Structure 1
Amino acid sequence: MSQQAPGATSAKSPGIRRYVIASLVGNSLEWYDFFLYATAAAIVFGKLFFPADTNPLVGTLGAFVGFAVGFAARPLGGILFGHIGDRVSRKSALVMTLSIMGIATFLMGLLPTYQQVGIWAPILLVILRILQGIAAGGEWGGGVLIISENSSDQRRGLFSAFSQGGVTLGFVLASAAFYLAQLLPEDQFMAWGWRLPFLLSVLLFGVGMYIRFRLPETKEFEQVKKTGERASVPVLAALRTHPKEILVAMGLRVAENGGSYLLLSFSLVYGVHVGVERGTLLLGVMLSMLFAFCTIVFFGHLSDKIGRRKVYAFGASALALMAFPFFWLIDSNSSALIIVAYFIGNGICHAAMIGAQPAFFHELFSPEVRYSGMALGHELAAVFAGGLAPFIATALLLTYDSSTPVSLYAIGLAAVTLTALAFSKNMGRHGTSPTDEQTGVSALKAGQH
């Protein structure tokens, strides 16, 4: 008879579809809120919330400092909600993260500008960004686990990838909201139109809360509660029992997270700097992220077949190869070539890594500390990767007025991740191993039952 890991459900079970839909919708709404700041920082926050300067890149640099501060808060959220998720309930953690994110985002739409209240404008903006960061730090792990802890070993990559699909849809929603808002006359957009995407988030918040309150607990966590294996302080237990896995997870994030914000947030700044229409850039981002939704799921499925490491290595290597051509295509000021750049960068390079990532991370940690372990690896790296990437890239552009140092920076990010992949071999003892060889063995054994 066929055998499954404890807590796993059949790939054909209707139950798994419920978790996939809940994670996909919930993540989409949560990351819509988080990405609004990224988009606004590249387009309007530098002008409205930071002191005026003759060089617009300086104001944008200030907005990206706030962006980085939000990332610095993410490990705190990972520790806090990892503790709640490992000790109390995955579901409770997810409801709380959505609540904090929704409130902070809505309040951003009500903030006074620098011209109205002076220095209090950026201070209040950064405070709300910190709250967003705390919520985002606890969101990712929970969104992944409600799928991965209900999936069979043999199809975990496929189903878990849908959680990352929610991240892309959140970015599409945020970009679409700003794309429509910036169709207003420039003076109206800068006066009040930019606020609309933030204020509309309250409607999405209501939908997300309804879905998450109705969501059952994951089967693997229920098993942990029955056996009484919960750690008293999960984050310390994770650091003690999985230190190498946490470091590897951090390394895996560098190219994926840092590269994504070069391809998304910074690319908007760079495009405007070289004279590309803002609407063209936003359209390219939106279309590429819709394409990425499909490719993320494909790469997750592919990781079930050939191994997590091979798929991840392909994505990191492709990012390095695309580092220079991506900005050259934007320099062309051709709408078609710019869209091609985004399709390759977001839909292939980044999608390969982020598609394999959820199952990869799941399999690095044991169930009793999985939420905390995943959150630590995921969010600590986010501070230095995605949080600093737009700031560093903008500073390089301001200093050298060239994309060349930014491309070299992207190659460096890819090199860190490829190094982490080399150290990840033979890890993943607490589930289907993410190593290429053991993935194949697991699939063979599954076929023999």
Structure 2
Amino acid sequence: VIPVVTTIFGAAYAVQPGYGIGFEKDIYLWIPVLGNIVAVIVIPYVGNLSDKIGRKPPIIIGSIVSGLLSFVYLYAISIHSVPLAICMSILMWGIVYQGYNAVFPSFYPEMFPTRTRVSGMAISQNLGTLVTALLPALFAYVAPPGAMDIPFTVGCITLGVTVVAAIAAFTARETYRVHMADLGNPNAVPVPKRAYDEARDKLMSASR
């Protein structure tokens, strides 16, 4: 939902004459470019952090905070502030959202045992993509050109989706200290943190 708000609905809201904002298209196109550049830098650090503190905290924080920032991002567009819109898009998408985006490719597959891991990830991910693919149509329906409080309306839907994602992560099992052979087993016991940290440090030293 965050990339949809940033690059699809946000772009339409910013550049289409019907919304009355009138951003220049060539200026607005820098928003996803800069967001992706920052994301490429941030992702390895978030991934490394999830190996230290767990998968769930970055996902939960990244989901909720990016949902909250969507209000400010859309508000920046509504007041015709290009610098604020660019800064908020980088903060929302390029930095905060990566708490979710950098970790879910590990977290989701780790929910499933080895025999069903690829299918479990592929089916659930594509069902989720199917739902989010319909969001631009929903946004256009509830916030058409001329509608009042577009940032608030779209922001509420965005925050609602990100809260659902955060609740799902909060109620899921933590997987970062579970042995690979035990992933997908709801009764698996995580490796003690000290032993996990020692093994991780040895692996990192060997890789250098």
TM-score of the two chains, using structure 2 as the length reference: 0.80
The CA distance in 2 between the partners of 1:433 and 1:353, in whole Å, is 20
Aligned 1:217-236 pairs, distance under 5 A: none
Rate the CA distance shift 1:361–1:278 in 2: closer, same or farther, 3 A.
same
SS in 2 for 1:415: helix
Q: In the TM superposition, what is the alpha-carbon distance from 1:427 to its structure 2 partner?
A: 6.0
The CA distance in 2 between the partners of 1:325 and 1:414, in whole Å, is 15
* CA offsets 1:125-183 (integer angstroms, 9 cap, x no match): xxxxxxxxxxxxxxxxxxxxxxxxxxxxxxxxxxxxxxxxxxxxxxxxxxxxxxxxxxx
Q: Does 1:266 align with 2:4?
A: no
Letter in 2 for 1:277: E
Rate the CA distance shift 1:345–1:448 in 2: closer, same or farther, 3 A.
closer
| C-alpha contact (below 8 Å) 2:59/2:103 kept by paired residues | yes
- Alignment partner for residue 196 of structure 2, among 435, 443, 447? 443
| C-alpha contact (below 8 Å) 1:299/1:356 kept by paired residues | yes
* CA offsets 1:186-216 (integer angstroms, 9 cap, x no match): xxxxxxxxxxxxxxxxxxxxxxxxxxxxxxx
Rate the CA distance shift 1:424–1:392 in 2: closer, same or farther, 3 A.
same
Q: Does 1:312 align with 2:59?
A: yes
Provide the residue aligned with 2:111 in structure 1.
Answer: 364
Letter in 2 for 1:398: P
Aligned 1:61-76 pairs, distance under 5 A: none
Rate the CA distance shift 1:447–1:413 in 2: closer, same or farther, 3 A.
closer
Q: Does 1:393 align with 2:155?
A: no
The CA distance in 2 between the partners of 1:427 and 1:378, in whole Å, is 18
The CA distance in 2 between the partners of 1:301 and 1:329, in whole Å, is 32
- Alignment partner for residue 297 of structure 1, among 28, 44, 57? 44
The CA distance in 2 between the partners of 1:409 and 1:366, in whole Å, is 33
* CA offsets 1:352-380 (integer angstroms, 9 cap, x no match): 10101111123222222211111011111
Letter in 2 for 1:265: I
Q: In the TM superposition, what is the alpha-carbon distance from 1:269 to its structure 2 partner?
A: 0.4
SS in 1 for 2:108: helix
Q: How many pairs does the alignment contain? A: 189
Q: In the TM superposition, what is the alpha-carbon distance from 1:445 to its structure 2 partner?
A: 5.3
Provide the residue aligned with 1:252 in structure 2.
Answer: none
More relative contact order, 1 or 2 (CA 8 Å, 6+ apart) = 2
Rate the CA distance shift 1:382–1:292 in 2: closer, same or farther, 3 A.
same
SS in 2 for 1:403: helix
The CA distance in 2 between the partners of 1:324 and 1:447, in whole Å, is 39
- Deviating beyond 4 angstroms after TM superposition, the runs of 4 or more aligned structure 1 residues are 426-430, 437-440
TM-score of the two chains, using structure 1 as the length reference: 0.39
- Alignment partner for residue 421 of structure 1, among 169, 172, 178? 169
Report the identity percentage: 23
| C-alpha contact (below 8 Å) 1:319/1:410 kept by paired residues | no
The CA distance in 1 between the partners of 2:63 and 2:155, in whole Å, is 14
Letter in 1 for 2:144: L
Aligned 1:114-129 pairs, distance under 5 A: none
The CA distance in 2 between the partners of 1:349 and 1:270, in whole Å, is 22
Larger radius of gyration: 1
Aligned 1:364-383 pairs, distance under 5 A: 364-383=111-130
* CA offsets 1:218-246 (integer angstroms, 9 cap, x no match): xxxxxxxxxxxxxxxxxxxxxxxxxxxxx
* CA offsets 1:31-58 (integer angstroms, 9 cap, x no match): xxxxxxxxxxxxxxxxxxxxxxxxxxxx
- Alignment partner for residue 349 of structure 1, among 96, 104, 110? 96
What CA RMSD, in Å, does the superposition of the two structures yield over aligned residues?
Answer: 2.6
The CA distance in 2 between the partners of 1:329 and 1:440, in whole Å, is 46
The CA distance in 2 between the partners of 1:268 and 1:342, in whole Å, is 11
The CA distance in 1 between the partners of 2:59 and 2:11, in whole Å, is 26
Gaps of 5+ in 1: 1-257
Q: In the TM superposition, what is the alpha-carbon distance from 1:334 to its structure 2 partner?
A: 3.0
